[in-house]
Structure 1
């Protein structure tokens, strides 16, 4: 039955019969036959079919929930047995919100030193996408905000608080200020991340708290686009200090701390499952060591 449940997961991820079959390395007729066999075993219709995939029936949605749990446990069991036999090896998939990307190396580098046979894939995703990837078993762990919007059925290791900076050209009127308030941020033309990024929703909320109506005259899901526009001296942007340090100074820009709001917490999130796959468990251990080194959820490390 496990292979049929894998088909169901693939269909949930792809939302398309052909792409789901391709992801499973089988033909579409084989996928359809496997799903039909699963329906016969349960005695209910699981998938709404037409000329294309039309979603899951209520029973199918419930079976999908169980499939995620069962398939996740089977994969974890296989990984643990393999690790007991051969040592920790394999592949670790991490999805991170864009603003957390600069600190990924603080996790992967010591991890790699301990377990050189583990490789990584790092994705830049929105906070909602991070949770979806975890739920659908497409990612092993994520880096995202913990205390701003619901994070769902995951466990978390808080790592640091995300400090914000106004990023401006060197000759900007605020460039030499020791700090600025959110009300002052609202007085300059802004280019910001698109609203599907939680970072943008946080910034908009802080501006509203300062009685300023958010008014970005340019939006992009690329921080390079934002910073190159700041270089034109026609815009300013707001980014976390870690991202500003990584990219802003490289572009010859100034970072001015923004004060007045409690900064949000970024942390490692991972499935609520016991036991964890050994690769994920080792990553959680590294995250806890990193959190301790950064002294109990501090502001972003320099």
Structure 2
């Protein structure tokens, strides 16, 4: 039944039989037959379908919760047995908000130093995508904001508090300043992350608290693009401190602390709530605790 539950989870995740089949590396008829057999075994219809996928039935919604739990438990059992036989090994999949990628590298280096037989996959994703991927068992952990928007039932380890810097060119009137207020950015030409990024929503609130309507001329879902825009001249951006200093290294730009009443937000490691965690995931949580700068 496990393979059929995997099929069911894939269909619910993709909302499309063809894409679900592709993600699993099987044919669409095989997928459809697997879902039909699962429905026969459970004695209920799980999916509304006619000529195309029509969503989950009420029974399907309930079954999805159980499917994720059963598949997750099965994977955890395999991890436990592999640990008993080979020690810490395997692969960890981690999705990270773009502004925390430098911290993800730091965490990966600390983790891999002590666990050389574990391979890591690190993906850049939005906070909403990270929670969805955790629910669908597409990743083992994420790095995201812990205190800004609802997260559901998860295990967390704080890593750092996010504080912001203005990044501007060396010719900017702000370049020689020791600090800049949020309210001073009214009317400036800004390039910022896209609105689907939680960091952008936080920055927008900070501007609103300072009674500033930002003039956003360029939006991008990559901090690298934002830094490149500033380096090309005539633009400014706002980035978290760690990310800004890393990206600014070697470029003719200035990074200046932003002052005001902005509340720092905690960023940390997020994992599915499960007791106990797999040995590999527990080792990752320990590495996060070791690196944490949050009191």
State the TM bucket, normalised to the shorter chain.
Answer: over 0.9
Which residue matches 1:300? none
Which residue matches 2:221? 221
5+ unaligned residues in a row in structure 1: which ranges? 298-302
Q: Is the 8 A contact 1:166 1:185 kept in 2?
A: no
- How far residue 238 of structure 1 moved from its aligned partner, in angstroms, is 0.3
TM-score by length of structure 1 reads 0.94
Q: What does the per-residue CA deviation read over 1:179-218, in whole Å, with 9 as the maximum and x for residues that have no partner? A: 1111012341111000000111000000000011233121
Which residue matches 1:65? 65
- How far residue 250 of structure 1 moved from its aligned partner, in angstroms, is 3.0
Instruction: Give the secondary structure class of the aligned counterpart of 1:281.
Output: helix
Instruction: Give the secondary structure class of the aligned counterpart of 1:229.
Output: helix
Q: What does the per-residue CA deviation read over 1:63-90, in whole Å, with 9 as the maximum and x for residues that have no partner? A: 0111111110110011111111111111
Which residue matches 1:2? 2
1:205-284 correspondence to structure 2 within 5 Å: 205-260=205-260, 261-284=262-285
CA distance in 1, matches of 2:232, 2:111: 40
- How far residue 53 of structure 1 moved from its aligned partner, in angstroms, is 1.7
CA distance in 2, matches of 1:187, 1:26: 54
- How far residue 173 of structure 1 moved from its aligned partner, in angstroms, is 0.3
Which residue matches 2:154? 154
Instruction: Give the secondary structure class of the aligned counterpart of 1:116.
Output: coil
TM-score by length of structure 2 reads 0.96
1:27-46 correspondence to structure 2 within 5 Å: 27-46=27-46
Which residue matches 1:106? 106
Q: Is the 8 A contact 1:183 1:210 kept in 2?
A: yes
Q: Is the 8 A contact 1:164 1:238 kept in 2?
A: yes
Instruction: Give the secondary structure class of the aligned counterpart of 1:201.
Output: helix
Q: Is the 8 A contact 2:191 2:226 kept in 1?
A: yes
CA distance in 1, matches of 2:281, 2:185: 40
Aligned CA distance change for structure 1 residues 229 and 8 (closer, same or farther; 3 Å)? same
CA distance in 1, matches of 2:278, 2:252: 43
